[in-house]
Amino acid sequence: MTVPAPPAPVTPLCAALRQLREAGEQLGLDNAVVEALARPHQEVTVHFPVPSTDSGMATFTGHRVQHNLARGPGKGGIRYAPDVDLDEVKALAMWMTWKSALLDIPFGGAKGGVAFDPAGRSSHELEAITRAFTHAISRFIGPELDIPAPDVGTDERTMAWMMDAYARSTGQLAPAVVTGKPLVLGGSHGRANATSDGVGVVTLAALAAAGRRPRDGVSAAVQGFGKVGSGLARLYVDAGIAVRLISDRYGAIRNDAGIDVPALQDHVTRAGTVVGFDKADAIEPDSVLTADVTIVVPAAVEGVITAANATAVSAELVIEAANGPTTPEADAILRRRGTTVVPDILANSGGVLVSYFEWVQARQRERWSAERVDRQLRERVLAAWDHVSGQSGKTRTLRQAATAIAVRRVAEAQRLRGLI
Ligand code: NAD
């Protein structure tokens, strides 16, 4: 007897297109409109050689996709990871379009990435790769065209190199070409923690809506301990939420009394991974998403909550700090089981929001105080939460409501501009 092949994994692009089609049905949009929104405005793939210490020269492949520019210039991060491919970047760019529209930021959606593993690369190599990639895409980005930011595997240092490489390639010193820059180069107060701060605001709102208070025995598991996951874990601990499980790409740890997050951060700075932290037990990484906690936060990569593990998710709340962590099948299972899923385009919108604040500051040659950034972040994320939760309910999940609000705004902008 032949064993049937396992079902093909749902790719991020399939998931994004299904969400769009569902929103189109809900809104009663014409098929032609949905088709126009399904396709990126522009997708660019570049291959560029970079001098390498061991092999003399290595050729890299990168992508930049502008999904939709109807509401403003493209906005979205640059990812460095071995499995980056054009379809993944297309999906991430589409989610950026909906996120900007949901937060009512005058940006479209874009995303980019280079397919390589930055772990273990010297600063010199990372700089050379970043400069060569920026040069290769310099005709397609710009402060009024498409504005990159950090994402998985990139950070404020990458943005400083991008800004400088863009200036050398185009002759324009334009700090607004990227966001997530260091403060001294025109970065914004609050940008480094903006994504995790926004996830924190949404978490407290979702807990309040469920009649829960963070200090009343609420616990959490966080997948990913990078820029977003580590900031969020610190914030949860400060709010009185016990963070019991944390994982990264190398392994996972558990401490039911609550992980000492500052001590873990020191360990990760030294060791490069949560593995080996002596104040917690080593556990199976997969168990983080199905742990017996109140809140599960995927804060790493796409497609981690699937039909295969969704029935084992026992948390009351899934807060999507990562982009696209839940497949459509898993979403349906979680809905049937009564789990509340706070969707990525709402949960992690603090990042693009403060990127927008940084862009405004760069355009106006101004510097906002940390208090002003924090207040406006809270106000706008909470306004989006209120809008989305007001439109969801028995017949619509938070994701369906959020996607419908965003798609409606983008379709309207396209129509008014005569693009469809
Ligand atoms: P990062 O590179 O700083 O950290 C990623 C973390 O995830 C690392 O700890 C890594 O070890 C871990 N990881 C990778 N693969 C994993 C796996 N299979 N299982 C468990 N852990 C794994 O990236 P980041 O900026 O923190 O981004 C995390 C997520 O948040 C991504 O989905 C990103 O698109 C999303 N996001 C980031 C921002 C931002 O401002 N950085 C904004 C919005 C959304």
Residue 288 has φ and ψ, to the nearest 5°, of: -65, -40
Q: Read off the pLDDT of residues 327-365 as tens digits, 9 standing for 90 and up.
A: 999 999 999 999 999 999 999 999 999 999 999 999 999
pLDDT tens, residue by residue, 84-133? 999 999 999 999 999 999 999 999 999 999 999 999 899 999 999 999 99
**Shortest CA distance to 253 belongs to which of 276, 271, 237, 234?**
276
Q: Tell me which DSSP letter residue 217 carries.
A: T
pLDDT tens, position by position, 170-188: 999 999 999 999 999 999 9
Candidate of 94, 155, 232, 248 to mutate for ligand 1, largest count of ligand atoms within 8 Å of Cβ: 248
Atom of ligand 1 nearest to the CA of 355: 40
State the CATH number of the domain containing residue 154: 3.40.50.10860
Kindly state if the Cβ of 346 falls inside 6 Å of ligand 1.
no
Whether residues 201 and 239 share a domain: the answer is yes
The dihedral built from the CA positions of residue 106, 75, 96 and 243, taken in this order, carries a sign that is negative
Short-list 97, 114, 115, 119, CA closest to 106: 97
Under a CB-based contact definition with an 8 Å cutoff, are residues 133 and 164 in contact?
no
Indicate which residue of 111, 181, 227, 394 is catalytic.
Answer: 111
Q: For residue 141, what are its two tokens?
A: 């980005």
Handedness of CA 104, 106, 109, 112 (dihedral sign): negative
- Quick one: pLDDT at residue 3? 61
Q: Whose CA is nearest to atom 23 of ligand 1?
A: 152
* Per-residue pLDDT tens over the stretch 229-266: 999 999 999 999 999 999 999 999 999 999 999 999 99
Ligand 1 neighbour 228 (Cβ under 6 A): yes
Residues 139 and 112 in one domain: yes
Same domain, 217 and 344: yes
Q: What is the pLDDT of residue 158?
A: 98
Coil, strand or helix at 218: coil
Pairing of the two strands 56-68 and 109-115: antiparallel
The strand pair at 251-254 and 281-283 is best described as antiparallel
pLDDT at 10: 83
If asked whether residues 158 and 216 sit together in one domain, one would say no
CB 69 within 8 A of CB 414: no
Does 169 share its domain with 201? no
Q: With 60 as the cut, is the pLDDT of residue 6 above it?
A: no
At 45, give phi and psi (nearest 5°).
Answer: -115, 130
Domain boundary among 296, 316, 348: 348
| Helix, coil or strand: residue 318 | strand
Assign 8 a pLDDT band (cuts: 50, 70, 90). low
219 in the same domain as 121: no
* Residue 39 reports pLDDT greater than 60: yes
**Residue 111 falls in the annotated catalytic set:** yes
Beta carbon of 112 within 6 Å of any ligand 1 atom: no
Are the beta carbons of 348 and 369 closer than 8 angstroms? no
Question: How many Å lie between the centroid of ligand 1 and the Cα of residue 298?
Answer: 9
Domain count along the chain: 2
Residue 152 in contact with ligand 1 by CB distance below 6 A: yes
Range of the domain at 102: 41-176
Give the model confidence (pLDDT) of 358-387 as tens digits. 999 999 999 999 999 999 999 999 999 999
User: Does the Cβ of 356 fall within 6 Å of ligand 1?
Assistant: no
